[in-house]
Amino acid sequence: MQKRVPLTTSPPRPRWSYARFQQHFAPYIFTSPFFILFLIFGLFPLGFSLFLAFHLWSPLDGLGNWQYVGWENFQLALGARDQFWAALKNTVFIGLLAGVPQHLVALPLAFVIHQSLRRWQGAVSTVLFLPYITNAVAITIVFGMLYSERLGLLNYLISGLGLDPVRWLGNPSMVPYSVAMVVFWRYVGWNVVLYLSGLQAISEDVYEAATVDGASSWQKFFYITLPLLRPMMFYAFTLTIVGNMQLFEEPYILLGQSGGSGGAGLTSATHIFNVAFRDLDMGYASAMSWLLFLAIFVLSMVNNYLFSRGGGRS
């Protein structure tokens, strides 16, 4: 027989105390809104779209009435001459048309502002930043009016020069340029601001030393500014790649669901939207979303590789 040991001599700990609650649970409760919202609006849709990518489902059939089809949706999208490829091609083309000039203009512009407009720098960056924070829909509607073939300002100016009016949104070979122009206008200021902040992080001492060594402005730009701006350039390029691959609002409002004349402005995102909400083929749209994600991932990795390789050399 064992002797019974008295339970405890110290007073029993209260099950609930304010201090204990503060220490152990309050942080979780205060941070929980993010996690709850993320679970509902972030993780769940992500998982659901992965699930749908392997199913055939029309939302009109209601939840639960899906049919498992395996890889069929992916095979459908990847098949030769599927619209998926045409849309992806348009997206990359418009992305390059809008993206490359953005950086070719933004970088020197930021340099000039940084070097010569010290006093007005704040005001100039604000003006350049305005398009970025203005509503995309409003911007696109204004551009739509400018592009109007018979009533638009652009063609009014062009015919003033004695040239034939341009069918900005009617001619399939003009459509990508017209869309790219809107995107360029909207994001060039954003990139200038990014580069400006990058430039401001470069120590003045480096430039002073270069001046002492007798370096010209060009030399300073190419041998000091550009190499030291690399991290910011990498960041800005990545944002442009991700943003342009997901291009939706501008072409959708400018050209409508069909992507304009000949579907020349049908981007991947518009195509996915159409398939999901017009054709109600949610599985196929989900599969294409994941393929688009893959394409963005690969392009970002290529960008990363190019930058890190250059970094190794210097």
Partner 1 sequence: MKKIATFALITALLAGTAHAQDKVTLTVAAFPSLDSAIKAILPAWNKKYPNVTIKLQAQEFADHHNAMTTALATGQGLPDVMAVEVGYVGKFAEGRGLEDLSKTPYNAAAYKKLFTPFTVAQATSSDGRFIAMPTDIGPGTFFYRKDVLDKAGVKPEAMMKSWDDYIAAGKTIKAKTGAYLINTAQSVYGVVSRTNLKPGEGIYFDSKNTLLVGPDNARFLRAFTLSKQVRDAGLDAKIGEWSNEWYDAFKKGTVATQFSGAWLQGALQNWMAPDTKGLWRVQNLPENSFASWGGSFYAIPSAAKNKQWAWEFIKFMTLDKGSQLTAFTDNGAFPALLTAQNDTVFNQVVPFLGGQKARLLWRDAARKTQPIDVNKYDSVADQIVNTELTNVLEQGKDIKQALADARAQILRRAR
User: Please, which of residues 274-313 interact with partner 1 by CB under 8 A?
Assistant: 274, 277-281, 284
Residue 295 CB, nearest approach to partner 1 (Å): 20
Find where tokens 């055939």 sit.
56
Q: What is the CA radius of gyration of the chain?
A: 28
Q: Is residue 149 a contact partner of residue 168, using CB atoms and an 8 Å limit?
A: yes
Binding test (CB under 8 A) with partner 1, winner from 149, 158, 253, 307: 149
Binding test (CB under 8 A) with partner 1, winner from 54, 78, 83, 248: 83
Q: Is residue 106 a contact partner of residue 239, using CB atoms and an 8 Å limit?
A: no
130 vs 145 by CB, closer to partner 1: 145
Q: With CB under 8 A, what is the number of residues at the site for partner 1?
A: 34
Residue 88 CB, nearest approach to partner 1 (Å): 15
Binding test (CB under 8 A) with partner 1, winner from 121, 171, 238, 303: 171
Stretch that binds partner 1, among 80-88, 115-123, 204-212, 223-231 (CB under 8 A): 80-88
Q: Give the integer Cα–Cα distance in Å for 286 and 271.
A: 11
131 vs 172 by CB, closer to partner 1: 172
Q: Is 165 in the site for partner 1 (CB under 8 A)?
A: no
Q: Give me the amino acid identity at 312.
A: G
Nearest to 66 by CA among 47, 84, 53: 53
Stretch that binds partner 1, among 17-25, 44-52, 73-81, 231-239 (CB under 8 A): 73-81
Convert 259-294 to b/e letters by CB count within 10 Å (16 or more is b): bbbebbbbbbbbbbebbbeeeebbbbbbbbbbbbee
174 vs 183 by CB, closer to partner 1: 174
Q: Is 151 in the site for partner 1 (CB under 8 A)?
A: yes
238 vs 261 by CB, closer to partner 1: 261
Q: Is 70 in the site for partner 1 (CB under 8 A)?
A: no
Binding test (CB under 8 A) with partner 1, winner from 3, 15, 81, 119: 81
Q: Is residue 282 a contact partner of residue 304, using CB atoms and an 8 Å limit?
A: no
Residue 94 CB, nearest approach to partner 1 (Å): 17
Find where tokens 């942080």 sit.
27
User: Please, which of residues 173-202 interact with partner 1 by CB under 8 A?
Assistant: none
Q: Which residues pair with 55 in a beta bridge?
A: 68
Binding test (CB under 8 A) with partner 1, winner from 63, 133, 161, 212: 63
Binding test (CB under 8 A) with partner 1, winner from 58, 116, 200, 217: 58
Q: Give the integer Cα–Cα distance in Å for 262 and 215.
A: 53
Q: What is the C-alpha end-to-end distance of the chain, expressed in Å? A: 81
Q: Is 145 in the site for partner 1 (CB under 8 A)?
A: yes
Q: Give the integer Cα–Cα distance in Å for 14 and 2.
A: 30
Q: Is residue 87 a contact partner of residue 267, using CB atoms and an 8 Å limit?
A: yes
Convert 233-256 to b/e letters by CB count within 10 Å (16 or more is b): bbebbbebbebbbbbebbbbbbbe
Residue 56 CB, nearest approach to partner 1 (Å): 8
CA angle 79, 81, 87 (to 5 degrees): 100
Find where tokens 């054709």 sit.
279
- By the criterion CB under 8 A, which residues form the site for partner 1? 56, 58-63, 65, 76, 79, 81-83, 145, 148-151, 167, 170-172, 257-258, 261-263, 274, 277-281, 284
